[in-house]
Structure 1
Amino acid sequence: MIRTILAAALAGLMIPLNAGAQPLRLELDQGVIEPLPFAAPAFVAETPDAGQIAQSITQVVIADLAGTGLFREIPPSAHISPVTSFDAPVSFADWKAINAQALVTGAVGVLADGRISVKFRLYDVFSESQLGDGLQFAGTPADWRRIAHKVADQVYARITGEGGYFDSRVVYVSESGPKDQRLKRLAIMDYDGANVQYLTDASSIVIAPRFSPTGDRILYTSFETGFPRIKLMDLATLSSRALAELSGNMTFAPRFSPDGGTVVFSLEQNGNTDIYAMQLSTGQTRQLTNAPSIETAPSYSPDGRFIVFESDRSGTQQLYVMPAEGGEATRISFGEGRYGTPVWSPRGDLIAFTKQHAGRFHIGVMRTDGSEERLLTASFLDEGPTWAPNGRVIMFTRETPGATGGAQLYSVDITGRNLRRVATEGSASDPAWSPLLP
């Protein structure tokens, strides 16, 4: 486990914010177009055996920040003053000359017990001030990528005022084989595609994995018995179990409540599909909808008071919101086309969804009352959005047409900018983003 500590050794060396200076702040709204230029010289190796790790950590920090589309790295070839000592005074004039607005400096050392120590500072170049306190992280050499992500999260948060999302993971369905005979197994990776681990084999189809609020368990739907059944996996042991047997043919589309104690899901019974909730500690189940239509893809609001879901009760696939205990549902989607796979933002202000209209698929967002609908993507097939922990980025599945087409993971900012493919080993679908790791 990585420990995050305020470095006592840095306490007397921190440069305070200048009195009256306006701290560097990147306002994240529709008007953000020009990325903020930053410099991140290679972190200083403070022990002889820390050189390679220092280089690698620097590269991941840069990749995290630049990958948001909100920051632009000024390459080392443009740097005027090298950083050879973490404690040396900053030559702000040299960084101003190359138009760096933010400067990240760091140092890496190997401790006597074999752990690595990483410390960093963030500077506002034009006000010649330090943003926040210097921080130090310590962990095993195997944790170096997590430490780099933690550094990037701190930099991101201090400049944007929002929480970061780099120290997180994504569970997804790894796909292989021809398009008409896909083999599917669960996999988990760092948010940027590194450290892939396979959680199941390909002996049966698995779909729709979903993280628990604490990130230590996942729900998913398995076709191991020939019919879809919900299973719960402990990520520490990779052991899984089916939820309590329910009368009916199929259970699917599970998702945790915000407190992790309840699972909401769809149950098909006698040809009708409704939404149910199960208390995990007791197995007690209650029915939340009762309509002669298909109700599925439920997702809780962050405060646990409401559930958004999709239903064809109006004749076409649309989005509805109801109280978490069930009751009258209010339709919130009224645009042209069909709406599905709604997911409530971690911030509580938006709902992401899949929309099909005029032969195209879109990932979009709307306010929780259905207003201000905004489509972020368009393609042959985009579906299944999932939110980053800070509610800034959405990941989804994009599939290409034709016999050789395949599914890949993509991400996009909620403004519709910075559409990027997520690196995966082979085809991938059904992503679900974890909360920030502890």
Structure 2
Amino acid sequence: MNTQETLLWINEQFSHTNELVQKTLEYEQKNIAYMYIKSLIDNEMLQKTIIKPFFEMANMEQFKLYVQALPQFEEVPAKEQVLLEIMNGSILLEIGNELCLIDLKLSKNDEVSSASVEMTIHGSQIALSDNLLTNLNLIRSYYRQPTLNIEYMSLGEVNQQKVAIVYDTEKVNTQALKLIKEKLQRVDKQVISAANQFNNYLNDKRFSLFPQMIMTEPPDRIIYNIAGGKVVILQDGSSQCLAAPVVFFDFMNTMEDDYHTVIISTFLRLLRYLGFFISLLLPSIYVGVTSYAPEVFRTELALTVAGSRMGVPFSSFVEVLFMLFFMELLLEASIRLPKAVSATATTVGGLILGTAVTEASLASNIMVIIVSAVAISTFVIPVNEMAFAIRIVRLLLIVITSIFGLAGLTLGFLVFILYLTSLDSYGEPYLRVYNYKKNKERSEGHL
């Protein structure tokens, strides 16, 4: 590669900005030249690593050997790659008509943060940071196996974000790994700001209701997924990562299940699945029973429900939709409002809504209880992506039940199960219990 041509080409690329800094150092028959983007470089590291040693070294040969021995040293690849490395925080250094790259990136987002999405009482409380190298260091520190492999690529035409694919070469599902690599190479987007976006870009079924990858942030869950043969995708600038392939049951488990005794863990899992079915079916059962088959209830309970609905001018279908609509608004408001006012606003809104609608006879007291039970049950689902999907399926089941009654609810639930069985996550059946021990043999048998 011609040194002068490369330097001229890089200068042309940055001709529209004043961010590119070019300097020449000369001292006692020694001279070097370097260029960098000033907002990306750690000036203190530049002083200690390059400038100070240059003036202290006896001759150019000694300085050249010193630079080549630096851990940040990198030989110059193609000029397009040089341009990308400069924009990633490297210095292009010219020594004796030879070019090299020194990584002196200034990082302000490399502090490990506390988990904010997947809250736990037991276990690790830390989460990923926005810095890719920090996250990889964290994973390496927890997963001490030489078989851990990391592959890099740059995606996004505009921001050219670095993406890391992390997996264990001995345990990885090779079929899923091959599919993920192929789909990543086909991603054609201008800007990719977070790893979570790959949940859409890597999915062949863009309108699939259920997630094909699981988003997570605690290192212990990431290590658990890698050890289970999953492929983990991290991106520079993103504090969450994606893991695939996944099955339905991955979204109903938490890392705390491994920190309790078997009896307690089993009880907590059963509680989550009970909350799942309550959140999914309870509103539809209410509509079906009150509108089509009140004889399903005991006589006393049927009379209580009927008495509660005295004066309500709407059918049970409209009543349920009315209450669920405002519940969804409260949930969305609790997410979007600032933390200082979100708890107060949603609590006051819920109290006013529950009291006012019953006093105005717009909804029954039992309906308020049902909506509260559904809201609480929705929060039991550990992963938000699955909770969002269940909220949509719940509305579909309510519509079907309002038209066809309890028979429609039964048929709709069976269709829901059949839909789940038809899904797969990178070759992994969605409703299959994941067998980590046989994962490697099975995935290789598919190839």
TM-score, normalised by the number of residues in structure 1: 0.22
Tell me which of the two structures has the higher relative contact order, counting C-alpha pairs closer than 8 angstroms and 6 or more residues apart. Answer: 2
| Structure in which a larger fraction of residues adopt strand | 1
